[in-house]
Chain A
């Protein structure tokens, strides 16, 4: 938060940037202190639940993203905004109200990226927030979603995913694949079984991990605003395709290997395939955008 600059969006001098970095760090530590119990709870959850394990990778992705964009850092500090403290107040209020009198775990956890955004906006302003936005998005995506809330969110898209996978597997000669409820059953010559049991409850959590990989892949370099819009438009279909690839891999592996419905190997292979599809599925349009519309320096975020 430097008030020696006259224009609000003007880039700061190196000495002021160092001061702003200290200020941002201090406010971020205060925000982490406020949510320390939730943070500890989320880490503990990620250590025992594979569905939330991508939280443990998020700090690495954030650090890599920061490193890849470090050359833009000098231009990423401007005069702090008065909206920053308001965001800090909003984040604190959400955290308090969702702890008492109400017990809403998910919005309370989302207070963390809001508080961090407030800290950044307070000290290094809108330029800083634009620079850090993908990292804040990774923080938000790393937050584990409670099972009940997640099922309510995902059950419809996951049902459609299972329908698509069933249709794709059913066209393979010699394979008869049916969807009953949310369980996929298959019959081949001499074999029968179930695929991807309980997907809407468990495996679908990987959607957040795939979304994190997509954010990482797209924002590895600083992009102009047009590319951000394209990412928002293309991101959802790519995520859906990656999820279909994940469940399809589970299905193909289960049928070919004759695995049991709850075998972990097809699940792991499916997850890896889903993450790879999400990564390259994001890189390809990002690369095309870069080639077709090379950004001018003024264009960049």
Chain B
């Protein structure tokens, strides 16, 4: 071996080069095979969300004080959604917009959550916190709370994303959870309640009611609509 060749193939370079060549050639097909092996399949709702029964929400009734927000399935990325405006039975003036969405395509990237969507229409997210809410048999979980300024209006939004029977308050948490192999099937659903904090009520009052609607509607969703945990394996 000449001196140049010896320099070219110094032991450390030779080791690095061989390792990188093997990785460069072998890793992409290996990863494709592993992904295909562990790929999750979509699972359907037990009942479509279009059949969601608003009369079953115990402490709220529907109201026509607001028209339900018009929803474009293309922007939601799913045909499975439900939207309605409720008011608490004890409060004639309150309006709480409920939006339920369901996704089951394993290739779906999770849509933007309100903190991004609302900014896209010029609103300002003033505060992003979380609070505990009882979510059916999942127990007390953290849900996201957003305080948003939309012109002179103070909007309050609470939402939770449930993936395969686990509740999350951040989109990235769901993305991480979805990647973990295990279950054969996959889905995620977002339960979102939006309201305006009115002048004659405190933020805490509005938040309590929004969380209550979130909790009660999720309970119905879990009971009759979402896939059963046992069917996911």
* A-binding segment of B81-89, B92-100, B172-180: B172-180
A177 at interface by CB-CB < 8 Å: no
B67 at interface by CB-CB < 8 Å: no
Contact at B13–A37, with CB atoms within 8 Å?
no
A30 to B122, CA, bound (A): 46
A71 at interface by CB-CB < 8 Å: no
Contact at B13–A1, with CB atoms within 8 Å?
yes
Contact at A19–B180, with CB atoms within 8 Å?
no
A152 to B119, CA, bound (A): 9
Contact at A34–B7, with CB atoms within 8 Å?
no
A197 at interface by CB-CB < 8 Å: no
CB distance from B33 to the nearest CB of A (A): 10
B25 at interface by CB-CB < 8 Å: yes
A151 to B179, CA, bound (A): 23
A131 to B205, CA, bound (A): 61
A100 to B34, CA, bound (A): 8
Size of the A side of the interface (Cβ < 8 Å), in residues, is 49
Assess A3 versus B10: contact at CB under 8 Å? Given A27-B17, A155-B116. yes
Contact at A34–B109, with CB atoms within 8 Å?
no
A22 at interface by CB-CB < 8 Å: yes
Contact at A155–B28, with CB atoms within 8 Å?
no
B residues 9-26 near A (Cβ < 8 Å) are 10, 12-13, 16-17, 20-21, 23-25
Q: State which size class the interface on B falls in.
A: 20 to 34
Residues of the B chain whose Cβ atoms lie less than 8 Å from the Cβ of A19: 4, 7-8
B66 at interface by CB-CB < 8 Å: no
A22 to B17, CA, bound (A): 11
A2 at interface by CB-CB < 8 Å: yes
CB distance from B86 to the nearest CB of A (A): 26
Contact at A152–B17, with CB atoms within 8 Å?
no
Complex partner residue of B23 from A3, A34, A104, A183, CB under 8 angstroms: A34
Instruction: Give the number of residue pairs across the A-B interface with Cβ within 8 Å.
Output: 103
Complex partner residue of B16 from A3, A88, A152, A201, CB under 8 angstroms: A88
Complex partner residue of B17 from A30, A99, A200, CB under 8 angstroms: A30
A224 at interface by CB-CB < 8 Å: no
Contact at B21–A30, with CB atoms within 8 Å?
yes
CB distance from A149 to the nearest CB of B (A): 9
Contact at B24–A34, with CB atoms within 8 Å?
yes
Residues of the A chain whose Cβ atoms lie less than 8 Å from the Cβ of B20: 27, 30-31, 34, 88, 119
Assess A180 versus B12: contact at CB under 8 Å? Given A92-B23, A96-B31, A151-B112. no
Residues of the B chain whose Cβ atoms lie less than 8 Å from the Cβ of A179: 122
Return the chain A residue nearest B31 by Cβ.
A99
Contact at B13–A155, with CB atoms within 8 Å?
no
Return the chain A residue nearest B33 by Cβ.
A100
A181 at interface by CB-CB < 8 Å: yes
Residues of the B chain whose Cβ atoms lie less than 8 Å from the Cβ of A30: 17, 20-21, 23-24
CB distance from B48 to the nearest CB of A (A): 26
Return the chain B residue nearest A180 by Cβ.
B122
Closest 9 CB pairs of A and B: A181-B122, A33-B24, A30-B20, A102-B179, A30-B24, A1-B13, A101-B179, A34-B24, A181-B121
7 contacts between A and B (CB under 8 A): A16-B7, A30-B23, A103-B109, A119-B20, A159-B122, A179-B122, A182-B122
Chain A contacts to B: CB under 8 angstroms: 1-4, 15-16, 19, 22-23, 26-27, 29-34, 36-37, 80, 82, 84-85, 88, 92, 95-96, 99-104, 119, 122-123, 148, 151-152, 155-156, 159, 179-183, 200-201
